[in-house]
Amino acid sequence: MKVMTIYAHPADTITNCGGTLALHAKRGDEVVALILTHGGRLHPNKYAEEWRKDNPDESLLHAGLEEIALNKRRELERAAQTIGISKLILLDYDDNYSVVNEEIVNRIAEEVSKERPDIVICDFPMNTAFHNPHTIATQMAFAGLSKVSLFLKNLDGQEDYQVKQIFLTSLPVSPIDGLSLYGMRNDVFIDISSVVGEKIKAMDEFVSQGYSGLFARKLLESYNGEYGRAAGVNFAEGFYRVYNETHSHLPLTKAAQKSDLLMRHLSYSTMSIREMFPLT
């Protein structure tokens, strides 16, 4: 099976679904990440720390967008290796887009047509009511996916292709009901407890945007810990399916069969991130 992520910035793939991707890579699935922008403008946090000091390090003070983006690319390459992402497709657009861009949509369509992934993962397309680069990235991904399905080999030289399933990330945790989100809720949770170390190690690479060290551990504990609480496991990643599923019988997952409401305080609190993965 082939899984492809489509995200706005280099770290998004890791923070949103790095654990799930690590599990797929371990199983032997092919994992490809398509990243639209270099992310240098949005996340130069470590440089900004220096810029705001009274006596900043001169070499960091004059770092340009190109240098910041290159450093971020190296961080991403190391993180991808840890997770088991076998191919990075970096479109390298500047991360200052503010509307859906036809050129980027076409690039996405081309790459999906070439890669032919079974599953695509991207951000939830209605993250906030105001401007959000992740929302626009997913709108472009959807437009690209739609375009691929309209390719005609004789006209476009590329064959039509339709992904089998799309999973969306970044929807807030809403375990019991989706009333606050007009009925939408994460409907698939992946238990990432066994690969939480890989996710932390990958996040530790993103030093330039301040995602390493304590930030990585806090994100795992809070974000994936909260998904885990909803899922009844230590750490999870949450997804929203775009297409309905067809089964031959009513599905009941192993997790549902095992679930014991009165024992959940134990099932989701047996691991301590800061004890298992201390800062070195």
Residues forming the site for Zn ion (CB under 5 A): 8-9, 12
Burial 118-152 (b: 16+ CB within 10 A, else e): ebbbbbbbebeeeebbbbbbbbbbbbbbebbeebe
Least separation in angstroms between CB 244 and Zn ion: 29
- 277 vs 272: CA distance, rounded Å: 8
Nearer to Zn ion, 8 or 31 (CB): 8
Residue 64 has a CB neighbour count (10 Å cut-off) of 9
Pairing of strands 119-123, 30-37: unpaired
Least separation in angstroms between CB 133 and Zn ion: 6
Nearer to Zn ion, 206 or 268 (CB): 206
Residue 65 has a CB neighbour count (10 Å cut-off) of 14
Max alpha carbon distance in the chain (Å)?
67
Nearer to Zn ion, 8 or 85 (CB): 8
Nearer to Zn ion, 8 or 60 (CB): 8
Question: 225 by DSSP, 3-state: which?
Answer: helix
Least separation in angstroms between CB 12 and Zn ion: 4
Q: Reading across the β-sheet that carries 87-93, which strands appear in turn?
A: 87-93, 30-37, 2-7, 119-123, 165-169, 236-241, 188-191
Least separation in angstroms between CB 15 and Zn ion: 8
Least separation in angstroms between CB 222 and Zn ion: 17
Structure tokens at 249: 């019988």
Q: Which residue is nearest to Zn ion (CB)?
A: 9
Nearer to Zn ion, 137 or 200 (CB): 137
Nearer to Zn ion, 35 or 190 (CB): 35
Structure tokens at 214: 């304590």
Least separation in angstroms between CB 123 and Zn ion: 8
